[in-house]
């Protein structure tokens, strides 16, 4: 039997990851990396995907045996916390993104910047290859985040399935936001609206795509971590650096599509702040940065 405190802690981690996943520009993988559960999460998902693959090939008994050996006390509270937060906060986050995009961008800019500092200590050494890999990843993601598509009205089941498969890959990649990938595909307002309004048919298609995409991608990422751990971690730091483009508070804050109006407010443009716009996002960024580094220092001491 698991320690109830450990289960509660894991649920809180899931809550934090779920809150991040709702926001375009912030990744649940970033939070998992910051909280020290990233590699275990990827490994657990990969093991679960392998078990399901064996069952699909007809090895039902062996697949069930693999599933029973999974660390469900690790995975179940994490997923429960994420689902609870996404369901509860979808409407709240949407409102904050529309009404206070600059302040929210500043808050998460500080969180991701501090997470970069924490993650940069994880590779055993920073060779020229790892520095170059991180730099390339940052530049590529910075450029890619400059593109976004218009909102898709009344998406088909195939489009919802594909959106789930693509967005879930970003869920376990720090620096790449699944919500922002949905934004780039024009699917963000439809998916968030389905969550907020309880449109279970659409949610089922998104969930099916997410299961397939997560199974395939976790196996690839898990093997890369096994064979090239420090280089992969360096690339993840680069991805977090590149993602700061969409979290730059000025001129528009975090990019968001309002599902109540066919209007795209771009969060990928970058400009210098005016005097009146400078302080609220900057103060929130500084508070988030200090809090994250303080929590990291406390966790390493204890």
Question: 96-121: per-residue pLDDT in tens?
Answer: 777 888 888 888 888 888 888 888 98
**Res 268: pLDDT:** 64
Q: What is the CA radius of gyration of the chain?
A: 19
**Res 24: pLDDT:** 63
Check pLDDT > 90 for residue 283. yes
Residues in the chain: 302
pLDDT, average across residues 36-54? 86
Residue that the structure tokens 């620096």 belong to: 175
Q: Do the Cβ atoms of 26 and 112 come closer than 8 Å?
A: yes
Q: Do the Cβ atoms of 239 and 137 come closer than 8 Å?
A: yes
**Percent share of the chain, pLDDT over 90:** 17
**Res 262: pLDDT:** 45
Q: What phi and psi, each to the nearest 5 degrees, are found at residue 265?
A: -100, 115
**Res 27: pLDDT:** 74
**Res 169: pLDDT:** 80
Q: What is the mean pLDDT of the chain?
A: 82
Check pLDDT > 90 for residue 250. no
Residue 60 binned pLDDT confidence (cut-offs 50, 70, 90): confident
**Res 257: pLDDT:** 47
The two tokens of residue 100 are 């206070």
Which residues, in sequence order, are CB contacts of 122 under 8 Å at separation 6+?
Answer: 33, 230, 233
If one compares 48 and 268, the residue with the highest pLDDT of the two is 48
Helices 72-99, 188-197: inter-axial angle, 10-degree rounding: 110
What is the spatial distance between Cα 83 and Cα 271, in angstroms, rounded to a whole number?
35
Check pLDDT > 90 for residue 261. no
Helices 157-171, 188-197: inter-axial angle, 10-degree rounding: 90
* DSSP characters over 68-131: HTS-HHHHHHHHHHHHHHHHHHHHHHHHHHHH-HHHHHHHHHHHHHHHHHHHTTSSS---HHHH
The two tokens of residue 29 are 């993988």
What is the spatial distance between Cα 229 and Cα 233, in angstroms, rounded to a whole number?
6
**Res 258: pLDDT:** 47
User: Considering only CA atoms, which of 168, 296, 164, 172 is closest in space to residue 225?
Assistant: 172
What is the spatial distance between Cα 186 and Cα 29, in angstroms, rounded to a whole number?
22
What is the spatial distance between Cα 231 and Cα 235, in angstroms, rounded to a whole number?
6
Residue 228 binned pLDDT confidence (cut-offs 50, 70, 90): very high
SS3 for 220-272 is HHHHHHHHHHHHHHHHHHHHHHHHHHHHCCCCCCCCEEECCCCEEECCCCCCC
What is the spatial distance between Cα 296 and Cα 275, in angstroms, rounded to a whole number?
32
Q: What's the DSSP call for residue 23?
A: S
Residue 11 binned pLDDT confidence (cut-offs 50, 70, 90): very high
Check pLDDT > 70 for residue 265. no
139-196 pLDDT tens trace: 998 888 777 666 677 889 999 999 898 888 877 777 666 776 787 777 877 887 787 7
**Res 284: pLDDT:** 92
Q: Phi-psi bin for 154: left (phi > 0), alpha (psi -120 to 50), beta? A: left
**Res 149: pLDDT:** 60
Check pLDDT > 50 for residue 259. no
């Amino acid at each position: 039997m698991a320690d109830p405190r450990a289960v509660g802690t894991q649920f809180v981690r899931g809550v934090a990851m779920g809150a991040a996943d709702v926001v375009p520009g912030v990744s649940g993988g970033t939070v998992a990396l910051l909280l020290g559960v990233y590699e275990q999460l990827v490994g657990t998902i990969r093991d679960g995907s392998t078990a399901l693959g064996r069952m699909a090939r007809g090895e039902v008994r062996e697949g069930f045996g693999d599933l029973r050996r999974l660390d469900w006390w690790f995975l179940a509270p994490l997923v429960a916390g994420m689902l609870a937060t996404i369901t509860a906060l979808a409407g709240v986050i949407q409102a904050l993104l529309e009404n206070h995009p600059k302040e929210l961008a500043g808050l998460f800019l500080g969180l991701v910047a501090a997470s970069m500092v924490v993650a940069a200590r994880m590779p055993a050494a920073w060779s020229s290859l790892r520095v170059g890999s991180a730099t390339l990843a940052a530049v590529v993601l910075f450029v890619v985040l400059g593109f976004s598509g218009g909102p898709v009205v009344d998406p088909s089941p195939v489009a919802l399935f594909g959106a789930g498969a693509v967005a879930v890959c970003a869920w376990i990649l720090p620096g790449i936001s699944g919500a922002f990938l949905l934004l780039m595909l024009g699917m963000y307002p439809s998916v968030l609206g389905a969550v907020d309004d309880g449109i279970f048919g659409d949610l089922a298609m998104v969930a099916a795509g997410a299961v397939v995409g997560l199974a395939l991608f976790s196996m690839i990422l898990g093997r890369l971590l096994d064979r090239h751990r420090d280089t992969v971690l360096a690339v993840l730091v680069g991805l977090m650096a590149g993602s700061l483009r969409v979290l730059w508070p000025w001129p528009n804050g975090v990019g968001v599509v309002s599902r109540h109006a066919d209007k795209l407010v771009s969060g990928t443009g970058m400009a210098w702040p005016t005097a009146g716009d400078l302080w609220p996002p900057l103060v929130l960024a500084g508070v988030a940065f200090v809090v994250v580094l303080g929590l990291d220092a406390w966790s390493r001491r204890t």
